[in-house]
Structure 1
Amino acid sequence: MLKQFNSITKELLEERKAAQEICRLFNKSPSKGNLKRIRELFLECGEGVIIEAGFHCDYGNQITIGDRTFININCTVLDAPIDEGAITIGSDCLIGPNVQILTVSHALSPALRLNKENFAAPITIGNNVWIGAGAIVLAGITIGDNSVIGAGSVVTKDVTANTVVVGNPAQKIRDI
């Protein structure tokens, strides 16, 4: 279920600006110190997590990452400042380059979009999941343990554990 929130309040604009500055510094110089600042944005970040340069998030405080997860270059993670905008990434995941994980959406109705309201629904990515390059994971999705999301896929529905999905929209092609 998508929950509505207003992302253009003064408070939220300031929170995003602060998180984006931390991301900007990290992307300019992905040193251990700047990685530490990124990790401190998160609600929780496990041991041995590697994040490559080009990482972007809106707030960071609704992101949880398990141990030994690898996030490749140019990953965009749009979390929301409400519980419904949480992103949970399990342990031992591989997130390919240019992946987008997006809890935030907007109204379909043109009249409602004029209000500039956002909607959010949580994303949960299980353990040992591989998300291929350029994949997009949309709001409200759960990806089960050990699954593989093919490069360039757009995940619009939940993915059961131990499956491979590919395409736009992503479709199951086999069990693992």
Structure 2
Amino acid sequence: MTTSERMKMAAGEWYTCIDPELEELRVAARDAVFEHNHLPPRQRGDIGPALRALLGGAGEGARIEGGFHCAYGFNLFLGDRAFLNAGCTILDTAPVRIGKGTLLGPNVQIYCAEHHREAAGRQAGLEIAKPVTIGDNVWIGGSAVILAGVSIGEGAIVGAAAVVTRDVPANATVVGNPARLAAHR
């Protein structure tokens, strides 16, 4: 039995992103994102119709501002009242779950894919996808970067421009590159 690249991606195995089926899915996402980013705000509402239909799930009152980008869309799950500010990029090769009441500042980036460490593997398009989970009521400051496989606990704060390479405990504050626990004042 042949395993497709999409099945490998979903299973968290090495797959090649240079694949016609995956490209078709990315084109569908780009079309939905284009509509979302170009509809007048009053016509678009909280999430453009094509993007909302593409998402894995979007709770009541979830909102994505314009200037948004995602790789596939179907791996993105937004809790009630989740808010993604302008310019957010989510490369959702694996599930990305953003909890209720969570706020992402402008230009936050979430990357689920890790490329192969060897040049030949990268040239072949080899990636592995790792999920990202962000709990309820988290605040992620502008231009923060969340890397593959990271979980951020409920109520945590990620400072602006932080690069989160490891899990963040609930109610913790992390800042810097790489992100580290902030000293409390």
Q: TM-score, normalised by structure 2?
A: 0.88
Change beyond 3 A, Cα 1:137–1:96? same
The correspondence of residues 55-66 of structure 1 with structure 2, limited to 5 A, is 55-66=68-79
Q: Secondary structure at the match of 1:3?
A: coil
The correspondence of residues 12-31 of structure 1 with structure 2, limited to 5 A, is 12-29=22-39, 30=41, 31=43
Amino acid at match of 1:130: W
Post-superposition CA distance 1:53-75 (Å, at most 9, x none)? 01111111111110001110000
Q: What is the aligned partner in structure 2 of residue 78 from structure 1?
A: 91
Following the alignment from structure 2 to structure 1, what is the Cα–Cα distance between the partners of residues 69 and 83?
Answer: 15
Post-superposition CA distance 1:116-142 (Å, at most 9, x none)? 111110000000000000000000000
Q: Would you tell me which structure has more strand in proportion to its own residues?
A: 1
Q: Count residues in correspondence.
A: 172
The correspondence of residues 17-166 of structure 1 with structure 2, limited to 5 A, is 17-29=27-39, 30=41, 31-32=43-44, 35-80=48-93, 85-166=94-175
Identical residues among aligned pairs (%): 44
Post-superposition CA distance 1:78-131 (Å, at most 9, x none)? 011xxxx11010000000000001101201211221211111100000000000
Structure 1 residue 174 displacement after superposition = 4.2
Following the alignment from structure 1 to structure 2, what is the Cα–Cα distance between the partners of residues 3 and 142?
Answer: 19
- The structure 1 segments of at least 4 consecutive aligned residues displaced by more than 2 Å after TM superposition are 30-34
Q: TM-score, normalised by structure 1?
A: 0.92
In structure 1, the gaps of 5 or more residues are: none
Amino acid at match of 2:74: N
In structure 2, the gaps of 5 or more residues are: 1-10
Aligned partners of 2:18 and 2:124 also within 8 Å: no
